[in-house]
Amino acid sequence: MSLPLEGIKVLDFTGVQAGPACTQLLAWYGADVLKIERPGVGDITRSQLRDIPGADALYFTTLNSNKKSLELNTKTPEGKKILEELIKGADILVENFGPGAMDRMGFSWERIQELNPGLIFGSVKGFGENSRYSDLKTYENVAQCAGGAASTTGFWDGPPTVSGGALGDSNSGYHLLIGLLTALIDRQKTGRGQKISVAMQDAVLNLCRVKLRDQSRLERVGYLEEYPQYPNMGFGDVVPRGGNAGGGGQPGWVLKCKGWENDPNAYIYFTVQDQNWARTAEAIGHPEWANDPEYNTAQARQLHLFEIFEEIERWMADKTKYEAVDVLRKYDVPCAPVFSMKELAYDPDLRESGTIVEVDHKVRGKYLTVGSPIKFSGFKPEITASPILGEHTDEVLTGLGYTPEQIAELRAKKVVSA
């Protein structure tokens, strides 16, 4: 089956998560993605959090499926020459090294344009080029703290808290991906490439836009009525941490179900939807609340919200999270069980849709990983294993016209793996 990005050549100079998440999607959708890695070392995640001695860690395999791997020391004269040749034949180059590393290696944006004016160059850094923090190396949680996620996540009586979702890493990679695809379409019209820069701080803030909205609302009216702090705890001059409160116009909370004493995930998320209040009240055994002025408007309910949540928990005390949702779905209540990672890993629907897949790996054997969360009517991406370090070194160099003798010489000089 022909895939949409077939024929697009990507040089993947990425590591850890932000960059690899971006290029993995390009690879899933058909691009020829070549990971360029330091000889003998490779992407640092190959060896981080290893669960099988000597095998690539799941950290690496989860982010690098469907790619090829070239071991190449791009700081040697021979390595630079090979990289130059690769750049001349590529469509996209993606990197997420620490600030300044590409320039120090001799591949500034100006130099890249000289080599290939049609090349699209994608770059992830922690902070924008004009930022006073632009020199900082950045990991996931650093970005979550710098982009507003941590100060607005958690409970009001606890410290800033980071999310389990990769708001800094994969999210930045996906922002970059949108930029790369936009630039590809632009290149069809202009013939020219361009540089796309994504700062992790910006990508996190972009996802925290409702909190930025709340800051403006707070400054105008002095309170945020959907936060648990309203009306009794009061507000300062910054958006507070709202626990599990709903971020939109509909209040919600994480509520206990049967078994919560022993099961850390025996909970559901329950949303009180204004336009569905009469049916919600009926579902939880209080049909009389539908017309009671103490409860029948969003404003009135706000004062009773935690009383309502307690009542729902009482109603759910003899119901598992699945049973509760099965009743509530009949009344159109927006809700879901809180699923553990174990439940998700073995979820038959997610397996069937290809959101979670098992892949065969030369060294590891079968491993579980994510598949495409984006579904296309025209094709279904097939997820293949991540490459072994340097698996495609000979293939790539031969393709560039190097003879076996020349490749052996490069090996002897440690330009490629020994």
Q: Which residues bind ligand CAO (CB under 6 A)?
A: 16-19, 36-38, 44, 72-75, 96-98, 101, 104-105, 124-126, 137-140, 169
By CB atoms closer than 10 A (0-12, 13-18, 19+), residue 26 is buried
Q: CA–CA separation, 312 vs 32, rounded Å? A: 52
AA letter at 285: G
CA dist., res. 193 & res. 121, Å (int): 7
Tokens of 213: 């909205």
Which residue, 261, 233, 221, 244, is CA-closest to 335?
Answer: 244
Helix (H), strand (E) at residue 267: strand 267-271
Cis peptide before 231 (omega within 30 of 0): yes
Residues in the chain: 418
Q: Which is nearer to ligand CAO, 139 or 235 (CB)?
A: 139
Handedness of CA 358, 165, 5, 129 (dihedral sign): negative
Q: Choose, from 56, 91, 169, 214, the residue flagged as catalytic.
A: 169
DSSP 8-state code for residue 301: H
Query: How far apart are CB 135 and ligand CAO at their closest, in Å?
Result: 10
Alpha-carbon gap, residue 141 to 183, rounded angstroms: 29
- State how far the Cα of 143 lies from the Cα of 198, in Å rounded to an integer: 12
Q: CA 271, CA 21: separation in Å to the nearest integer?
A: 32
Residue 129 DSSP one-character state:
T
Q: How far is the CB of 269 from ligand CAO (least distance, A)?
A: 28
Shortest CB 125 distance to ligand CAO, Å: 5
CB of 142 to ligand CAO, least distance (A): 8
Shortest distance, position 21 Cβ to ligand CAO, whole Å = 9
List, as one string, the DSSP characters of 179-223: HHHHHHHHHHHHS---EEEEEHHHHHHHHTHHHHHHHHHHHHHS-
- Residue number with CB closer to ligand CAO (173 or 228): 173
Which tokens is 110 given? 């100006």
The residue nearest ligand CAO at its CB is 98
Q: Considering the complex, what minimum distance in angstroms separates the CB of residue 338 from ligand CAO?
A: 26
**Residue 137 or 330: which CB sits closer to ligand CAO?**
137
Q: Which is nearer to ligand CAO, 9 or 217 (CB)?
A: 9
Three-class secondary structure of residue 251 per DSSP:
coil
Cβ neighbours for 78, distance < 8 A, ≥ 6 positions apart: 410, 413, 415
Shortest reach from residue 384's CB to ligand CAO, in Å? 23
β-bridge mates for residue 92, sequence order: 10, 120
Q: For the chain, how big is the Rg over CA atoms in Å? A: 26
| Residue 169 a catalytic site member | yes
Q: What angle do CA 315, 253, 149 make, to 5 degrees?
A: 165
Task: Tell me the one-letter amino acid at 391.
Answer: E
- CA 412 to mean position of chain CA atoms: 40
Residue placing its CB nearer to ligand CAO in the complex, 45 or 271:
45
**Contact status, residue 315 vs residue 240, Cβ threshold 8 Å:** no
The nearest distance, CB 189 to ligand CAO, in angstroms, is 30
CB 371 within 8 A of CB 383: yes
Catalytic positions: 169
